[in-house]
Structure 1
Amino acid sequence: MKLLGIVLVIFSTSSLGYLFALKYKMRRWILKSMISSLNLFKIEITYSKAPLGEILMAISRSSDKSIKFVFSKTGMILSQNEGYTAGEAWEIALKEWDNGYLKKEDVEILRSFGYGLGNSDVYNQEKNFDLAIELLKRQLSNAEEESKKNEKLYKNIGVLAGLAIIILFL
């Protein structure tokens, strides 16, 4: 019975450590996916003559599931012709996107990107995309540094906390 308790304590605390570490991994993944999708979005805006709503829906189909909602929701809002601008639709989608992995700064970059969405000619749109992508790449670099530091730390703390609890009860 004691052995079963020991295994459960170690498993539980280790799992908690891995869950905390997952937050860093997911942030990196979402930032990489968003950069990739924004690059695709930039290409579509530059070379396609399709309406913005259709472009966004096409990008959502090829995007990772972690960021798909933002593009599909924005595309749906624009396709419904309710009078929203692209920036307003993007803002609504960001507010409804339930994402606990990104930092406030990451979301602010995406929000500021939305302000310039669809408000100017193709050349200025490209500049808006380039700025957002560059800022997200910096955030990705920061996320990778944080991840190197903290992922291993949380995993080890989980295991060590389990061992400490077991020692206390023995």
Structure 2
Amino acid sequence: MMALKWIGSMLVLFSAGGFGIWSARQWRERLRLLEKLRQMIYFLKGEITYSHAPLAEALERVGKRETGPLGKLFTAAAEGICRQEGESLQEIWRREVQALSSPKIRLPLTEEDLEQLAGLGEHLGYLDVDMQERTLKLYLEQLDISIEYLRTNQREKCRLYTSLGIMGGMFLVIVMY
């Protein structure tokens, strides 16, 4: 009977500690994804501004540079534009961004991140090059704010999540005894 208590205590301790470590990893992964997204938006801005590529072509080129879910977002949006099924770019972009939040993909982006990304599509495609460039610059400023917050708080938040997970597990073990 005592062995079962010890085994249960260890399971609680390891699972709570594991949850804390997982939360810290999610923080770092969100930072990495937002930095990758910022890089892709810079590429898109360059494609639109300097090479004057049509939006579908620019989205496809940028999407092919990244193999992950963000690259699929850009290529799927380009394919949606090329299909010409009567949908506006806003509808196509919002649908593809919502696909990123599906449980199957499991990106560590917050609802706010996804809303800002979906909002980007509302102003692309139907404006002139200058307005598209300004829209991309505005989105890049929002991304920079989020990235700066994540960078400045990364060390303390990751340490906090890990410590809270382990300490919470210890607390539960003590309460169970």
Q: CA deviation at 1:138?
A: 0.6
Q: What's the CA shift for 1:82?
A: 1.2
Shift of 1:165: 4.0
Three-state SS of the structure 1 residue aligned to 2:147 is: helix
1:4 is displaced (CA, Å) by 7.6
Q: Name the CA shift for 1:76/1:147 in 2 (closer, same or farther; >3 Å).
A: same
1:48 aligned partner, one-letter code: S
For 1:78, the equivalent position in structure 2 comes to 81
Residue 139 of structure 1 and its aligned partner are, at CA, apart by 1.4
> Tell me, what secondary structure is at the counterpart of 1:157?
helix
Q: Give yes or no for contact 1:54–1:79 (8 Å, CA) kept in 2.
A: no
Uncovered stretches (5+) of structure 1, i.e. residues with no partner: none
* C-alpha contact (below 8 Å) 1:69/1:97 kept by paired residues: no
Report 1:76-155 matches (<5 A).
Answer: 76-98=79-101, 101-155=108-162
* Residue 16 of structure 1 pairs with residue 19 of structure 2: yes
- TM-score between both structures, scaled by the size of structure 2: 0.81
TM-score calculated relative to the size of structure 1 = 0.84
| C-alpha deviation, 1:93, in angstroms | 1.0
**Distance (whole Å) between structure 2 residues aligned to residue 95 and residue 8 of structure 1:** 36
In the other structure, the counterpart of 2:46 is 43
1:150 and 1:161 mapped to 2: Cα distance? 16
- CA shift, 1:32, in A, is 0.7
Return the offset for 1:13. 2.0
Task: List aligned pairs for 1:59-74, cutoff 5 A.
Answer: 59-63=62-66, 65-74=68-77
Give distance in 2, aligned partners of 1:145 and 1:103: 18
